[in-house]
Every structure is written in structure tokens, then in C-alpha cells.
Chains A and B, each alone.
Chain A
């Protein structure tokens, strides 16, 4: 019997997939993983970002309702000249132990229609799985970004007296409820247990404030005409390994649907590009372009990496080069919040 099983399994092994196909698929999956983090939904209407700093008011810090997240990060963060600062106006005052902040994102606008903060737990979990993660986001009623779930068949819950809906799907839990400004708030959990009870406790701890800022040091200097006027999502994040580190950060600018993706920081490295790529000169510096001509990479003099990526065909190579040449880079942004509560 044992020999027969061995022989059968060897027969099966002969039907393994082609390695070259898998290598190509892996490169595509890398892009998907990056895109999944952003959860880009439908096209938006926000204006192209300019390098003009947005005015962020310093208001008195809102008092927390409970818990251990005091105070919110960097209430007096100075935004570097040439950089954009966007206020993220909601935050939870309670999180489970072990979670540290790993990402902030916002639509670039004086009145951002979508903002979010994320925390991950860098403790023990299988390296092959996504680390436990918590996200708290706010969206205005007018925003097409990250829209409300069309499935309204969730479990009915109340959040501080407001009617909300919750959904569970395996390791994932989402809870949505209306915000005071007519928009809605969402708590999303991955691999956090007990999911619904934790989501509800986080939701009930959310308070409004103007003191948390995402500073963005990137701006488009030129865009293809058909992309001008697209909503731009800015994101600051750590390297995605589930172990947030202030020494490994990226800032990203994304247009909806993955049509254009700019990444700059210390966690972007040459592994982002297919090794079969060729050398190229980008911004007067030695860079690389991948075989499909849809990704460009260069190391900047200050050590940051700069990457431009587009879904195949969305932005022709010559235009991708021009986008890359005109990216406006500000001084290093403050990302000291990465890895803190």
C-alpha cells in the first residue's frame, strides 16, 4: 500500500505547473498585493495634487472616550515646505493590545473624501499569512472611493446608538455606521478574534479630531491628459511585511484602477522590478525598466527609491517616463508614527 501511494504521488508530481509560467504569474501577483492594500474602487473626481501645502488647522485635541490611545500622534506636526498635509479626522481611542500603526491614507484634497488609518500586530503569526490588521476609515457621502457595501444584508448592530451593519467572512469582519457629517465610518478587521465584538468596541471608541496628519512628500508634476482630474489616493505605509518599522517606509500616489502608481521611500527596492529588465536613465540617474515596459525604478541621491508602475497598456512607456521625470519630491516626510500606537 505504501509503495502504491508513493507511486501515485509521483504521478501527480509529474503534472506540476510550468515554472516559467509561475514566475511570470508571481510578478503579476506582486503587483496585485500592492494594489490590494489600497483597495481602489471606482474613479473619483478629486483634483490633481499640487505641491502647495494644504492648510491644516491646529485645533484643541479632542478628548478620548476611553482606552489607551492617548494622545493621537503628532498634534503639532509641522508639514515640510513643498509637502502636503492631510488631516485624518477620526481615530479610535481603543485598540486591542499588540497593534501598532502601519499605514495612513487619504484622498488628496483640502476636504478629503476618504481617509483611513491601519494598525497591524507584528507578533507571532504564520509568515505565510497576512498579519492581523485593523483599519478605521471615514468616507464622505459624496465620495466614490471605497464605497459602502452594496450588500445590505449584514448583521444589524448599534454603535453608540447609531444603526450599523456588520459582515463576517472567514477571518475578515467589517462594520459600517453613519458618521455625524453625513458620511460613514468603517472598521475592518483581519484575523482578529473575537472579530465582531472587537470591531464593535473599536467602533464605539472612535472620536472626531483634526490632529492626526498624513504628510505626503510626493506630487504629480505632469499627467497624461486622459488622467488629469483623476482622484489621487496618497498612502504612507511600512514595507508590508507585517512588522512595521520606521526605517522601512513608502509613500505612494495611486490613481484609481491601478492605472498609475508611484512609490517612493526606503522600503522600495530593486526587487520590485523583474530581474530580466533593462537599464534605463531616469531623472538623469541610472535606473531600470521591466521587460513589459510598465514599471520604472531609480534610486535617488538621498537613498530613497522611486518607482512608477502602471497596469499594462494604461500608460504607454514614453508617457510613464515623462510622469517619472516630473514627479515632485518634497523633503523627507515625518513617518515617525509607524510602529507606534
Chain B
């Protein structure tokens, strides 16, 4: 498979993955572009691997977690204020928006664990391998993240600035 063939077939999937991991479409675009620019010259070697797609996903994850040091002061851009406009005002939609807002504000490694576990459906062992950490660390990151999200979800009022959430109470 050539590099171009890979992009044609798999780039949308890689972008969705990066968007979920970073919780920021703009940052996802930067990360993926950086990764592809580095992957292209060594594509022959990557392509010879058993799962080149998984390798690129790992590059995306590493790039994001490396970037976090440089972008420590940067808050996730989230989506444009109207990007998650509530077409369906059902409570479930609002609840998902609220949850997403809080996922985007988790520390990067917690955010990565949540994305890998719930979007990629990886096991804790697989996540530990990807993050190059111990199994216990993954479980700790995961439990802290979920505890934070659970507490946030049941908060009595939406925080200022939640896209499309101003003035909405929930609980």
C-alpha cells in the first residue's frame, strides 16, 4: 500500500481518532499533519509492519502527549460555540455535550485513557502498552477520570462557557 493509498482509505479514521484523543479538532489537525509529515519519509518501513494503522495511531498519541508539555497553558479549544448546537433538545443530547466539555478538561493522560478505553475499546493492558506505563497506572488514571466525570455530570448547573449550554440547568 502506498502512502497515498493509505491516506485515501484511512485518513478519515485517523482524524476521528485524533479528534477524540485531543478533544480539539484544530489540535487534531496539527497533530495528524505533524505525524504524517514524519511518517511519509519512512513509509516503506511503517508499511511493512503488521498494523501500520495502529502504528500511526500510536504516533498520534505520542505526539499529543508530547505536545501537552508545550501547550500546558493552552486550554482545549473545544468546538465552535455553535458546532454542537442542540438540534434535538432532548436531555440526553444536552447531557452528552456537558460530559464532552468535562472530558476535554481532563488532564491529557486521563483524557487519552478515556478515549482509548471508550472510543477504541482497548483493554487496560493494551492501553498500558500504548502509554508505556504500568497496568495500575492505567486503572488509576481511568478511575480518577471517571470519578471526575461522574461528579461533573451530576453537578447542579452547567458551567459558564459550555457550548450551547448557557442558562441550562440539569441534574
Contacts and interface: CB of A to CB of B under 8 A. Distances in A.
B41 A241 contact: yes
Interface in A4-21: 4-13, 15-17, 19, 21
Contacts of B3: 271
A128 B62 contact: yes
B12 to A, nearest CB: 5
A129 B62 CA distance: 8
B33 A12 contact: no
Chain B contact surface mostly? helix
A22 B32 contact: yes
A26 B99 contact: no
B interface, size bucket: 35 or more
B40 A26 contact: yes
B79 A15 contact: yes
Contact of B66 (A25, A128, A241): A128
A12 B45 CA distance: 32
A23 B11 contact: yes
B63 A5 contact: no
Interface string B42-79: 11000000000000001110110010011000000001
Contact of A17 (B2, B4, B19, B36): B19
B118 A2 contact: yes
B16 A128 contact: no
A22 B59 CA distance: 16
Contact of A12 (B19, B92, B95, B146): B19
Contact of B100 (A11, A17, A26, A241): A11
A180 interface: no
B138 interface: no
Interface of A: 1-2, 4-13, 15-17, 19, 21-23, 25-26, 29-30, 32-33, 126-129, 170-171, 239-241, 271, 275
